[in-house]
Structure 1
Amino acid sequence: MQRRSFLRTVTAGTGAAVFCGTLWQQAGHAAPAGAASGSPYGPLLAPDANGVALPAGFTSRVVARSLRPVGGTIWHSAPDGGACYADGDGWIYVSNSEIPLLGGASAIRFRADGSVDRAYRILSGTHLNCAGGATPWNTWLSCEETFRGRVFETDPYGRKEAVAHHAMGRFKHEAAACDPDHRVVYLTEDEDDGCFYRFTPDTWGDLSSGRLDVACTTSGDGVEWREVPNPSAPLVQTRRQLAAARHFDGGEGCHYAEGICYFTAKGDRQVWAYDTRDSTITSVYNSDGTLTGVDNITGTAAGDLYVAEDGGNMEINIITRDGVVAPILRVDGHPDSEITGPAFSPDGSRLYFSSQRGTSGEISGSGGVTYEVRGPFRH
């Protein structure tokens, strides 16, 4: 595919966004230039009884609160990264816990009608489990955001013990995104000089061994993958083992779709895109406007990206293929919290997410709230 870059400014609500790179090459085929800048779902209405502002036709409910019972277990504090999995006629939502020493992850199973069937722990005794990622073989990669943090592969169905994969590197892990087309896993690092990594397992579906590479600067937007000499080094951190490594300020969420791995960097205030076809990393969104504190990210089959804010207006914003950036929900009254764990149910009709610290602003307390939003999502 011949590369064609262009730059466009779109005003969405009160914010201004800049778009460039390969994502909008695709957008040029999906929608005409100059598409409307309003949200495809319309404006947000007044907050509902749960304090969630939504477009017309959408509803919210609270499914869990930190340190309160849900489905036979106590829901964890500081809910963070999450994902959904099909399970018979129901589905499962997995959520990390970003607290020290007792972090881990839990799961809620929903029946076909959306009611809670049960909830249970799938990982315990780990440290500051922030984000992670789902695998094509239906496991959850739970990442520790701490010095020499680990990646744990867990079972959302609660049948198998979690396993730590040291070959994926010992660093301040944030998120993971599996690329089944190239059989690799992309990893972000939450440091102010963090890196972007690629793990190639020796056998696809088995992450116990393999090669860890880091994206290194070449010319222009180009990157070259070079092997990290010692992924488990106790003293020399992975991001400092290769002088040519490209650095990103505060690597956060990560999502792979159609040959592109999108990842956010909170300090950079950008959504980056690694294009596997020409080995380039370009910025597809940067803003000083309404979408700030770019953090967890997910996407849909329709090609839309959904980006959660750490702080900001406590919103989840949609970024469409045709260049629209607009809030699709806002949580009011949680000024010292962040939106975490956005994930769609397998049929795309329900969006799960959390306010990590809720109204209290305390990361280890009972303030965390996990929500479900239903509505006519594009999928």
Structure 2
Amino acid sequence: MTSTPQTSRRNLLRGAALTAGVAGLPFASLATRAEGATAASAVFSDAGYGPLLPAVDQATGLQLISLPRGFEYLSYGWTNDLMSDGTPTPNAHDGMGAYRLGDLVHIVRNHERNPSAAFTQPAYNPLGGGGTTTIVFDPEAGQFTESWGSLGGTVRNCAGGVTPWGTWLTCEETFSEAGGMRHGYVFEVPPTGKGNPAPYKAMGRFNHEAAAIDPATGIVYETEDRGDACLYRFVPTTPGRLADGGRLQALTIGSTKVDTRRDGSGTSYGAVGWVDIDEPDPATDTVRVEAQGKGAAVFSRLEGAWYGNGRIYVITTDGGPARQGQVFELDPVTDRLSVLFASPSGEVLNAPDNMCVSPRGGLVLCEDGGGTEYVHGLSTEGEIFRFAANDADLRDGTAGKNVPANDYRGSEWAGAVFEPSNGSWLFLNIQSPGITLAITGPWRQGAL
């Protein structure tokens, strides 16, 4: 049969699903282990890589973070560094997607910036200060090679999601207007060239956070960062072609509205349902109001989302009995939902935000809480451990970087994503002063 663009895209989706299916087993024993989690177990879990030690940045010579022994890293794309296109690197680094193209890795990076002049073209709105930049990394040489602005004119691009067809969905965490133009949408950016400045309005206008795509169906699961959030899915008219439109739906649990905001580890909701949203692009912030009026479940500040192990994982930043975050698992085949993990205290896990699934099946959780911020690993055996600490004090200077000298130890981690072909590099952002890191080391000695 002759391959058309549509059949080729569906074959790509099907192939990606088969590949993802062998990534690892779901977190069968996590709930029971989570009940006994302590600060000590979070640091010294057998699934981890050992104690964290001060580590020197191979690019600047500064000690920016702490990592386990055997790991090393380099920084790139500090705020205000000139990119290859001559544009200063915008600040507020956030979510990222990584794509292997030949020998190189292209990384699309969000910038969670408020309304101001657009920093690059194409721009959706000349008064939108957010958007994306794209950076290129050579994994064999261990160095970044180029960067450019790839989408401008948006607002507060927080997280997003990698697609099975090889693009980045960048999401606006806002419900606002600038210069009479609406914001609160999803945009699509390829790993090469420039992004599409046309918003996908059918995917909803609300405080978007992240997106995760089931490669078998092309359905996009979307999170909302509100204290009374809903979990959505977008069922596309044409899988892999979001511009063709589709149906926005919200998750329901049973026949009445269920509040999940204080539910603990091991809570199982069984099979969930979905209700259609009649007005996905409202003039006022009413998508979740409509959804909950139809019985949609309520979540506490939904943040990161990722597909892996044949599951959709989503996290809350302040849900659970201790209000320190939850990790939910949704099986897109059976529509069964459960709470895999609820942090028992801030010492174990403090307000997780961005996340990803490692090539070996573990979860990477980026903290956005208070005090020293950590990157945590969560193993498929149910063990949580600290992998990295943002514990450097840069008040003594930033090696000539054009950023204010300050104490950035409380700045959030963001943008966790692995090099996709073999997982030998993990890319991360420290949101302030705005730094992208590439980390490598003995990954197979632990759960990531």
What TM-score do you get using the length of structure 1 for normalisation? 0.87
SS of 1:77 mapped into structure 2: coil
User: Once structures 1 and 2 are overlaid, which stretch shifts more, 274-283 or 113-122?
Assistant: 274-283
CA distance in 1, matches of 2:356, 2:195: 26
Match of 2:441 in 1: 375
2:414 equivalent to 1:340: yes
1:254 to 291, 302, 305: 305
1:38 to 31, 38, 46: 46
AA in 2 matched with 1:239: R
Q: 1:335 to 1:113 in 2, by over 3 A?
A: closer
CA root-mean-square deviation: 2.3
Q: 1:144 to 1:160 in 2, by over 3 A?
A: closer
Match of 1:54 in 2: 67
1:305 to 363, 371, 375: 363
Q: 1:12 to 1:236 in 2, by over 3 A?
A: closer
CA distance in 1, matches of 2:208, 2:198: 16
List aligned pairs for 1:164-203, cutoff 5 A.
Answer: 164-203=199-238
AA in 2 matched with 1:228: I
Q: CA deviation at 1:275?
A: 2.1
C-alpha distance after superposition, 1:284-336 (max 9, x if no partner)? 11111321111101012311000000034311100001111001111113233
SS of 1:239 mapped into structure 2: helix
Q: 1:16 to 1:300 in 2, by over 3 A?
A: closer
List aligned pairs for 1:152-167, cutoff 5 A.
Answer: 152-159=187-194, 161-167=196-202
2:352 equivalent to 1:294: yes
Q: CA deviation at 1:264?
A: 0.8
2:277 equivalent to 1:228: yes
Confirm or deny: 8 A CA contact 2:214 2:332 kept in the other structure: no
AA in 2 matched with 1:88: G
AA in 1 matched with 2:274: W
CA distance in 2, matches of 1:258, 1:115: 30
SS of 2:414 mapped into structure 1: strand
AA in 1 matched with 2:214: D
C-alpha distance after superposition, 1:183-214 (max 9, x if no partner)? 20000000000110011101011102001110
Ranges in structure 1 where 5+ consecutive residues have no aligned partner: 18-35, 358-366
CA distance in 1, matches of 2:285, 2:253: 20
CA distance in 2, matches of 1:245, 1:12: 33
Seq. identity, %: 36
C-alpha distance after superposition, 1:25-62 (max 9, x if no partner)? xxxxxxxxxxx933431221234343211111101211
Confirm or deny: 8 A CA contact 1:311 1:339 kept in the other structure: no
User: Once structures 1 and 2 are overlaid, which stretch shifts more, 296-305 or 217-226?
Assistant: 217-226
Q: Which has the larger radius of gyration?
A: 2
Q: CA deviation at 1:12?
A: 5.5
AA in 1 matched with 2:269: D
What TM-score do you get using the length of structure 2 for normalisation? 0.74
Q: CA deviation at 1:15?
A: 5.7
2:32 equivalent to 1:7: yes
Confirm or deny: 8 A CA contact 1:251 1:263 kept in the other structure: yes
CA distance in 2, matches of 1:239, 1:201: 20
Q: CA deviation at 1:78?
A: 0.1
CA distance in 2, matches of 1:336, 1:57: 25
User: Once structures 1 and 2 are overlaid, which stretch shifts more, 342-351 or 5-14?
Assistant: 5-14
2:174 equivalent to 1:108: no
Confirm or deny: 8 A CA contact 2:54 2:63 kept in the other structure: no
SS of 2:227 mapped into structure 1: coil
Confirm or deny: 8 A CA contact 1:221 1:281 kept in the other structure: yes
Confirm or deny: 8 A CA contact 1:10 1:37 kept in the other structure: no
Confirm or deny: 8 A CA contact 1:12 1:37 kept in the other structure: no
AA in 1 matched with 2:51: P
SS of 2:68 mapped into structure 1: coil
Ranges in structure 2 where 5+ consecutive residues have no aligned partner: 1-27, 57-61, 116-128, 176-182, 256-267, 320-324, 394-407
CA distance in 2, matches of 1:100, 1:85: 27
SS of 1:164 mapped into structure 2: coil
More helix by share: 2
Confirm or deny: 8 A CA contact 2:55 2:72 kept in the other structure: no
Match of 1:350 in 2: 425
1:137 to 145, 165, 174: 165
User: Once structures 1 and 2 are overlaid, which stretch shifts more, 211-220 or 5-14?
Assistant: 5-14
1:282 to 327, 334, 338: 338
Q: How many residues align?
A: 351
More strand by share: 1
C-alpha distance after superposition, 1:138-196 (max 9, x if no partner)? 11101000015000011220155443110100111000011112320000000000110
CA distance in 1, matches of 2:70, 2:55: 13
Q: 1:198 to 1:53 in 2, by over 3 A?
A: same
Confirm or deny: 8 A CA contact 1:50 1:60 kept in the other structure: no
CA distance in 2, matches of 1:116, 1:46: 23
Q: CA deviation at 1:116?
A: 2.3
AA in 2 matched with 1:257: G
Confirm or deny: 8 A CA contact 1:39 1:327 kept in the other structure: no
2:151 to 107, 111, 123: 123
Confirm or deny: 8 A CA contact 1:188 1:195 kept in the other structure: yes
Match of 2:326 in 1: 270
Q: CA deviation at 1:137?
A: 1.1
AA in 1 matched with 2:98: C
Q: CA deviation at 1:10?
A: 4.2
Q: 1:368 to 1:236 in 2, by over 3 A?
A: closer
